[in-house]
Each structure stands twice: as structure tokens, then as C-alpha cells.
Amino acid sequence: MKLTEHDVLLVIDVQNDFLPGGALAVPEGDAVIAPINRLAARLPHVILTQDWHPSGHASFHASHADKSPYETTLLHYGEQVLWPEHCVQGTHGAALAEGLETDRAELVIRKGYHPGIDSYSAFLEADGRTRTGLAGYLAERGLTRLFLAGLATDFCVLWSALDAREAGLEVVVVEDAVRGIDLDGSLARAWDAMERAGVGRIDSAALA
Ligand code: VGL
Ligand code: ZN
């Protein structure tokens, strides 16, 4: 596949808490690092995201009485999955994975820092109205095609991909550079939803 100056590698949430041994470990989450590092050397632009919650965040099960991890609750904007406490600002778990090549990253966008709103998407928080600023940043810089990699396929990668399509961007998920959590079939549903939204899929070898 031919790359141009308008292409960006968007690396979603490759942070210690999402790797094996982390607070919200994604199965094989560490397997994304090697392909991402190869892509980071190859794509003309690289942007990273970092899930970045204050302690006591509304998406943590411990912030709600009588709730267990992976149950849902109703927040002011709608249904919210309740997660183990993860990616708390400034902690080792929130740090980008050791071994992730970050030198060429031009922007690190943090999300999920409003105490009462989650943000799976790199573009739009879970209330459906609070924007991170990424769409404006990409537009100002003329960056129009995203290659998506990172964690997790069925949450932050999925929502970022769908919102990027809403923002009018071309989106391609790099299949071997993502891994999913898969809660009750969420991984298969995520691939379906992305296909319906016109999100492309490639293997990182196609960009080698
Ligand atoms: C994520 C659940 C909670 C993700 C972040 O990066 O996919 N998932 N916070
Ligand atoms: Zn989170």
C-alpha cells in the first residue's frame, strides 16, 4: 500500500495496565508492540493516545457501591461498563509500555480525565458531546488517513475508528497490531461495526 504525507499512525492506549499482568490486561496485549514499532518507523506521522483517569473515576467499579468489575451501570450519559481501576494519572499502570517506540510521536493525546465521563474514543468522550480536540488537530495539519493500532480492538480502537469515520477520515485498522478484550462477543461485534462504517483492514506486512 502506498503511503502519503497525509497518513498517520494512531496508536491507541499501549499502556502497562492493558498488558499482561496489568490491572485491565488485554489478552496478548504485548503482541502489538513489535508491529507498532515497525509501523512507527514507516508512517510519516505518529500520534499516541493515553487513557488517563483521575483516581475515583466514574468508570471504575470501586466508585460505585455494590458493583463488580465488568458489570454495567447507568451514568448521566447512558450505560457504562465498570472496569477495574486502571490507568490512574501518574501511575506505572498509566505509563506507555516500555519497549513501545515513541520517539517519532508528534502528539500524545490523553483522554478519560473528566472525573464523571469515560472516553474510549480518541475523538469524542462517552457523553457524545465533549471533544478531545483531535479532529481539529488532524484537520489543521491536513492529516486525512488513519492507520489504527493498539488496545483494545473492541473498545478504544473501535470507538476511535467509528468517530474518525464520522469526522470524514479514511480509517484502516492494522489487524496484527491490535488485540481485544472480548466481553460477551464484543470483539466480533466490533469488527462488524467497523466494516459497516467503511473501516478498512490490513496486515502490517502490507505497509512494510
Ligand atoms: C479501554 C476500557 C477502559 C481501552 C480503556 O483502551 O480499550 N478499555 N478504558
Ligand atoms: Zn479507561
Residues with Cβ within 8 Å of 96's Cβ and at least 6 positions away in sequence, in order, are 14, 15, 16, 48, 50, 102, 108
Q: Ligand 1 pocket, 152 CB below 6 A?
A: yes
Q: What is the pLDDT of residues 35-89, one digit of tens each?
A: 999 999 999 999 999 999 999 999 999 999 999 999 999 999 999 999 999 999 9
Is residue 87 in some structural domain? yes
Decide if 156 is catalytic.
yes
Residue nearest to atom 4 of ligand 1 (CA): 156
Q: Which structural domain, as residue segments, surrounds residue 49?
A: 7-206
What is the 3 CA–ligand 2 centroid distance (Å)? Answer: 31
pTM tops 0.95, yes or no:
yes
What is the 196 CA–ligand 1 centroid distance (Å)? Answer: 22
Listed residue (126, 134, 51) closest to 86, CA to CA: 51
Is residue 183 in some structural domain? yes
Q: What is the pLDDT of residues 159-176, one digit of tens each?
A: 999 999 999 999 999 999
Tally of domains in the chain: 1
Is residue 1 in some structural domain? no
Q: Ligand 1 pocket, 13 CB below 6 A?
A: yes
Which CATH number characterizes residue 74's domain? 3.40.50.850
Q: Residue 61, exposed/middle/buried by CB under 10 A (0-12, 13-18, 19+)?
A: middle
End-to-end CA distance of the chain: 9
